[in-house]
A and B are shown apart, each in its own frame.
Chain A
Amino acid sequence: MNASQPNVLSRLMLALRAAWRMLIDQEFADGVSQLERDEFTPRAPSSTGQPKPGLRDTLPDSALQLLALLQQEGRFVDFLEENVTAYSDAEIGGAARVVHEGCSKVIRDHLQIASVRDEAEGARLTLPAGFDATAVRLTGNVVGQPPFTGTLMHRGWRVIEIKLPKLAEGHDVRVLAPAEVEL
């Protein structure tokens, strides 16, 4: 007998508990009644129609791919993994040129980035009702009803297009940079 199936004794205990609960819980009794007539359908989630808002896991592949490109062209991981306290600003500045040149090339080559708002920073602007709250964040004295009028503090950035390299099946994206062994 499968261990997960209740034995006779535990089935007896279940029957007693269920009988008691049927006496005190009308909804439970109706459910058992349906089950007994083979009509049982699992209860739909409480509020009808609307699916429950959920969170999703993002796939790490593209993130690792971009990180590998930043390392390959701009030595990004090397730079972050190094202890900068031990070096002078001039030394860090020299390395930063490598990182800046390489990483900005990666961004230029693979992403088309544009500002969210075209106005100059510091300009006054008005947001109508129904503005995209993902693209524009309200800060400070956030009260009242739209339209909202405020000062543009940061223009924001938005990716217009992203073009990452195609990867071969079975390529291990977790290797950001292979170890190099010179023979």
Chain B
Amino acid sequence: MSAARFAIGIDLGTTHCVIAAVDLQASDLDEVVDWIEAIPQLTAPGAVEERSLLPSFLYLPHPDELRPEDRTLPWGEQPPFVVGELARSMGGRTPIRLVASAKSWLCHPGVDRRAAILPAEAPEEVQRVSPLQASMHYLEHLRTAWNQRHPDAPLAEQDVVLTVPASFDPAARELTAEAAAAVGLSNRLVLLEEPQAALYHWILSTRGEWRKQVRVGDIILVIDLGGGTTDFSLIAVTERDGSLELVRVAVGDHILLGGDNMDLALAHTVRAKLAEQGTQLDPWQLQGLTHGCRSAKEILLSDASVEAVPVVVPSRGSRLIGGTLRTELTRDEVARTLIEGFFPIVTASARPAARARAALTKLGLPYAQDAAMSRHLAAFLGRQVEATRDLAGFGNRLPENASFLHPTAILFNGGVFKAQALLDRTLELLNGWLAAEGAPAARLLEGADLDLAVARGAAYYGYVRQGRGVRIRGGTAKSYYVGVESAMPAVPGMEPPIQGLCIAPFGMEEGTQAELPPQEVGLVVGEPVRFRFFGSSVRRVDQVGTVLEQWVPEELEELEEIEANLPAEDRQPGEVVPVRLHAAVTEVGTLRLEAVSRTGTETWKVEFDVRGDR
């Protein structure tokens, strides 16, 4: 394979996609030639414009809704669906045909992600798509747009870095890689966690000065608050052979809560105010109100001298003046709804309200039940209090009685933090916790480009992978276990107790293999055998073969089951074959499980069950 000319970063976001590039030939050390690639897309029927963001929306029009020529893309295709800005605006008027948040569905353990289930609310006659297909459509659009602009350097032949939330489970990572492979991007693909991409962007933006802004012993907290999800990561600054190194030591849970929820919450506050005055809004107007609240919020949260910002909801009909509703958003309302609602000052021991398991049975996205970002953050830092214990140079950094891990620096990412007041509040919250335990305040790492940082950081990662800059180490952020039944006499009416057998230790790097565990499990020839599967973000020392007799619920999180299929071939169906389960992390960055026969000569792939029928 010839050397790639560009490193490409693709942020396949919940609400929008961005593609960035680094010219590998023109860049030298800290002098990086990079840019955001403009994405041509339909912005109105029959009109194509270039934008830096591709809204991650897919619209499935009625055959009579758009003429084929009104769907013409710059590369001459007229696909029967619409992606991007036009999809979002058409979907605002006809939500039953709109696929949104496909990425959140991709990691929704309650549904079959290869089944055509979206839009969830669509009537019978709409040809639905699967969460996987929707992601493929976005990637396909990005690929074709790139190839049209760079016919000599097709995307499939470049070093492509695709970002995923740090909290994505192995199944969701594999589905993302599968979507990329389906559009031909598997040759040189790697996955990168979004908070890491944000930190890479920060490193890029300091142009080599980052080494002066951090020191050994620093623990950087990255808060990535996207449109639909929130992601936390902790990255420690260590030293090896005299130069600084970055190690990602922990990632948070998948929290389905983002900037869009905040704008919607504000819109509902204002709607309630209008309703008190006797004005009811229809869904179309609520959308206009949400849009108005978003801009009003940004003004109120960046300019402390403004007390209220007028918000107008345009009429739907052509009578603009007569039909427009006029109201205002006050500083007090924003403070109450957003700052107190999403970023309340709580103690470091606060924990989010637990989600009832039953909620997963409903067909809908499992949004976070507790809107308070503060409590999610407290839970994350509390759970990870031990994260740096075994890291060289960090042994005595935390006081004995520390109840949570003490970050020393903080990096924000995501459009929400354009509102300075939210950024200040988060710092105030964290520094309050730190002060309570006698620790110095965390300092802010100044980033820029809150919307575009992930894609740019990802492209830069493609560049540093060639050995031309510092890399964040860390490997997998979890250790993994399969559930095996313990050999205890069965008690009537009770499930047999289950043990966790570690098959993949914490921190496996890309392209490495775990050892074979000594324990064997039995596979039944000719029928699928399923195992319960667990991950732990806190058990850092378990080695392959470690058996957990019992654990506390916070320690091990149950993931989707894994399934092995042993084809009959030259065996008797029903025969039980002893195998050992073998884990590896692929070059792409996905977890790969295999069943290995006793002789070691035969292997069978073990699949993540993404059918959601557990």
Contacts and interface: CB of A to CB of B under 8 A. Distances in A.
Interface of A: 65, 68, 72, 75, 78-79, 81-82, 84, 86-87, 90-92, 94-95, 97-99, 101, 163, 165-171, 178, 180
B398 interface: no
Interface in B320-372: 320-322, 324-326
B310 A168 contact: no
A180 B312 CA distance: 21
A95 B318 CA distance: 12
Interface stretch (B43-51, B218-226, B493-501, B540-548): B43-51
Most chain A CB inside 10 Å of its own CB: which residue of B40, B44, B45, B50: B44
B74 A166 contact: yes
Interface of B: 40, 43-50, 69-70, 72, 74, 93, 295, 310, 312, 314, 316, 318-322, 324-326
A29 B74 CA distance: 62
Given A75-B320, A95-B324, 10 more contacts: A87-B322, A95-B312, A95-B314, A98-B314, A98-B324, A166-B40, A167-B47, A168-B47, A168-B48, A180-B93
Contact of B318 (A81, A92, A94, A165): A81
Most chain B CB inside 10 Å of its own CB: which residue of A68, A75, A99: A75
Given A79-B321, A169-B72, A94 B44 contact: no
B96 to A, nearest CB: 11
Given A94-B326, A98-B312, A98-B314, A166 B47 contact: yes
B314 A166 contact: no
Contact of A166 (B49, B310, B312, B322): B49
Contacts, number: 77
B112 to A, nearest CB: 31
A78 B48 contact: no
B310 A97 contact: yes
Given A98-B314, A98-B324, A171-B69, A78 B319 contact: yes
Contact of B69 (A75, A163, A168, A180): A168
Contacts of B72: 168-169
11 contacts: A79-B320, A82-B321, A91-B321, A94-B312, A94-B325, A95-B324, A97-B310, A165-B48, A167-B47, A168-B72, A171-B47
A81 to B, nearest CB: 7
Contacts of B326: 90-91, 94
Contacts of A169: 69, 72
B44 A72 contact: yes
B48 A166 contact: yes
B533 to A, nearest CB: 46
Contacts of B45: 171, 178
Contact of A95 (B69, B70, B295, B321): B321
Contact of B322 (A82, A101, A171, A178): A82
A17 B23 CA distance: 81
B316 A180 contact: yes
Contacts of B295: 101
A130 B319 CA distance: 50
B44 A97 contact: no
Nearest to A71: B318
Contacts of A178: 45
Contacts of A165: 43-44, 47-49
A170 B310 contact: no
Contacts of B312: 94-95, 97-98
Nearest to B318: A78
A86 B320 CA distance: 13
Given A94-B324, A169-B69, A169-B72, A75 B314 contact: yes
B321 A84 contact: yes
A82 B320 contact: yes
A167 B48 CA distance: 6
B293 to A, nearest CB: 13
Contacts of A75: 314, 320
Contacts of A171: 45-47, 69-70
Contacts of A180: 93, 316
Nearest to B327: A94
A98 to B, nearest CB: 5
A74 B74 CA distance: 26
Contacts of A68: 44
Contacts of B314: 75, 95, 98
Contacts of B93: 180
Most chain A CB inside 10 Å of its own CB: which residue of B72, B321, B326: B321
Contacts of A78: 318-320
A78 B230 CA distance: 40
A183 to B, nearest CB: 9
Most chain A CB inside 10 Å of its own CB: which residue of B70, B310, B318, B322: B318
A169 to B, nearest CB: 6
A98 B310 CA distance: 11
Contacts of A90: 326
A116 to B, nearest CB: 27
Contacts of B320: 75, 78-79, 82, 95, 98-99
A84 to B, nearest CB: 7
A171 B72 CA distance: 10
Most chain B CB inside 10 Å of its own CB: which residue of A87, A90, A97: A97
Nearest to A76: B320
Most chain B CB inside 10 Å of its own CB: which residue of A82, A90, A95: A95
A169 B72 CA distance: 9
Contacts of A170: 69
A101 B44 CA distance: 19
Contacts of A101: 295
Contacts of B325: 94
B230 to A, nearest CB: 28
A106 to B, nearest CB: 11
